[in-house]
A and B are shown apart, each in its own frame.
Chain A
């Protein structure tokens, strides 16, 4: 369970987030949506532990984020940022192995190797393992990074005390892999784990999210189950776009078309 308690954050005089509170449950995928500059990525970076000059509190189950050491946190929480660069060439398998770095001292164990294999298998990276990461396309790199964060969190645990955070994970992905990614994210959440993703595509969010969190100008506008909170009025309020909500004939989920 991830609990946000009145999170506020300012950079200089600019208030980025205003008192955001929410409880995110394991077993669910929560997607954060909002217009550009609404504070989505800042919020994700705060509860990921990359920023510490926020006010309010973040709770990982019973533990306050401020009291968790970076290395301990890396055992239970993985973050996939937008397009991480790599300064020097490395083979794909070593980039995936980085996910296991928090878990071993000097040499990876057999277990670490197995988890990396499993993650590469899931993301269909077996043919890429020896390739130089820098020669991959943007979408292929995303898959490597996704495999890396899956490897970091390791194998299933019934306790639901693992946290996967994805910042716009669908950048550069084709339609097939967009759906494949979100299915993987949903499967991971079901293990159970707490999964949070910052998203741009409202229709993909409606299809795959268990809960949606809408931000606008640093304020929480709505938080809840998609079918309960998403209305044409909400889309107008958050994105300033006129829309109409239909039912997707293929899966029965709500979908939005825009004027």
Chain B
């Protein structure tokens, strides 16, 4: 079943590079690779962008594409971490309340933000919505975690069940906010819940990239422990893995990075689910390969979805969450069918 997959990483890198170039090139304004090159050259020489194309490239397209790529990588890695931790292939980053909490936090700002003191608004500037979303994400995840804790042990089943309940509360809170909102505010909430990269800025890119880089670096150090956990918690313990400590740390890493990206771009579903699945079929479930491969494929697929979001109804833009769900869900069902068939075949000779 497992072939030598030495070619998979070069292929994924190639895919990512091609998708990145395409997703910079296409949009309301097309940008040629030669213009990208000269804009970068001008930037490196300390000159400002020359002409409209170069400034679209530097100020709009490039930060957007980078933010999109990092977000895709974060969501996919988060899927790998959560699925490994829960030892369950249908777990998604949003499951433990992170997305629902973020959405509720953001909707609070959209609806009640008009009444906030100007001092707060002046201090936070463009970070007002992200800050509330981040706080909401952390709070919701912390509630899920605290409620599913028995003494020092965190049971996976109760984590899932409490996660469902807290998600429902977050959704109803967001729903209530849209209900009492005026029209434009309600639209903001709707858009935010479907994810968008249209507001991407270099500030966001820097923040998200820093957080993602640190967390990826740490997460890569836990791939061995996550593999051991596949045997079960007791067996992992016999291999020297402190399962409770591992669960706490992975939850913390995962929540921090998902909360940060969700705070900036809104809720994007299905990425965390399908990317690890596609890769499991291609290269198996060894987390040492799965995690870095997910970064690459997650980045490439989300950029691809963003290109579609920009082009399908151009010049209007479709919220990217609609694309990821609309394309992602059928792909996921297909994968699931295939995955089941494989398992049935496998179990036959037992």
CB distance from B92 to the nearest CB of A (A): 16
Of the candidate stretches A69-77, A202-210, A247-255, the one touching chain B is A69-77
- B286:A90 contact, CB within 8 angstroms: yes
The answer to the question of A48 belonging to the interface, with a C-beta cut-off of 8 Å to chain B, is: yes
The answer to the question of B238 belonging to the interface, with a C-beta cut-off of 8 Å to chain A, is: yes
What 0/1 pattern do residues 270 to 301 of B give for CB contact below 8 A with A?
Answer: 00000000001000111000000000000000
CB distance from B205 to the nearest CB of A (A): 29
Q: Report Cα–Cα, A49/B239, bound state, in Å.
A: 11
- A101:B228 contact, CB within 8 angstroms: yes
User: Which of B286, B347, B349 is close to A94, meaning CB atoms less than 8 Å apart?
Assistant: B286
Q: Report Cα–Cα, A249/B234, bound state, in Å.
A: 42
- B1:A48 contact, CB within 8 angstroms: no
- B285:A89 contact, CB within 8 angstroms: yes
- B230:A74 contact, CB within 8 angstroms: no
Main secondary structure of the interface of B (DSSP, over half): loop
- A101:B240 contact, CB within 8 angstroms: yes
Nearest B residue (CB) for A104 = B224
CB distance from B220 to the nearest CB of A (A): 8
Nearest A residue (CB) for B346 = A135
Select the residue from A89, A90, A95, A101 with max chain B CB neighbours within 10 A.
Answer: A89
The answer to the question of A91 belonging to the interface, with a C-beta cut-off of 8 Å to chain B, is: yes
The answer to the question of B158 belonging to the interface, with a C-beta cut-off of 8 Å to chain A, is: no
The answer to the question of A6 belonging to the interface, with a C-beta cut-off of 8 Å to chain B, is: no
- A135:B1 contact, CB within 8 angstroms: yes
- B240:A102 contact, CB within 8 angstroms: yes
What 0/1 pattern do residues 83 to 125 of A give for CB contact below 8 A with B?
Answer: 0111111110011001101100010000000000000000000
The answer to the question of A78 belonging to the interface, with a C-beta cut-off of 8 Å to chain B, is: yes
CB distance from B37 to the nearest CB of A (A): 37
The answer to the question of B198 belonging to the interface, with a C-beta cut-off of 8 Å to chain A, is: no
Residues of B within 8 A of A91 (CB): 1-2, 284, 286
Q: How many A-B residue pairs have CB under 8 A?
A: 96
- A85:B231 contact, CB within 8 angstroms: yes
- B230:A90 contact, CB within 8 angstroms: yes
CB distance from A147 to the nearest CB of B (A): 14
Within 8 A of A (CB), among B222-280: 224-225, 227-228, 230-232, 234-235, 237-242, 280
Residues of A within 8 A of B122 (CB): none
Q: Report Cα–Cα, A134/B344, bound state, in Å.
A: 10
Within 8 A of A (CB), among B296-350: 343, 345-347, 349-350
Q: Report Cα–Cα, A91/B289, bound state, in Å.
A: 13
The answer to the question of B221 belonging to the interface, with a C-beta cut-off of 8 Å to chain A, is: yes
Select the residue from A50, A87, A99 with max chain B CB neighbours within 10 A.
Answer: A87
Nearest B residue (CB) for A87 = B87
CB distance from A88 to the nearest CB of B (A): 4
Residues of B within 8 A of A72 (CB): 240
- A106:B224 contact, CB within 8 angstroms: yes
CB distance from B54 to the nearest CB of A (A): 42
Residues of A within 8 A of B88 (CB): 87
Residues of A within 8 A of B285 (CB): 88-90
CB distance from A160 to the nearest CB of B (A): 20
Q: Report Cα–Cα, A106/B225, bound state, in Å.
A: 10
Nearest A residue (CB) for B281 = A89
Nearest A residue (CB) for B245 = A70
- A132:B1 contact, CB within 8 angstroms: yes
Q: Report Cα–Cα, A91/B231, bound state, in Å.
A: 13
Q: Report Cα–Cα, A132/B346, bound state, in Å.
A: 8
The answer to the question of B89 belonging to the interface, with a C-beta cut-off of 8 Å to chain A, is: yes
- A94:B227 contact, CB within 8 angstroms: yes
Nearest B residue (CB) for A107 = B288
User: Can you list 17 pairs linking A and B with CB atoms under 8 Å apart?
Assistant: A50-B237, A70-B240, A70-B241, A71-B240, A72-B240, A74-B240, A85-B231, A85-B232, A87-B89, A89-B284, A91-B284, A94-B286, A98-B239, A102-B239, A130-B2, A136-B350, A137-B350
Where the two chains meet, the residues of B that have a C-beta atom closer than 8 Å to any C-beta of A are: 1-2, 83, 87-89, 221, 224-225, 227-228, 230-232, 234-235, 237-242, 280, 284-286, 343, 345-347, 349-350
Q: A98-B227, A101-B239 are in contact. List 17 more A-B contacts (CB 8 A).
A: A48-B238, A74-B239, A79-B235, A79-B238, A84-B231, A85-B232, A86-B230, A88-B89, A89-B284, A89-B285, A94-B286, A101-B227, A101-B241, A130-B2, A137-B349, A138-B350, A152-B239
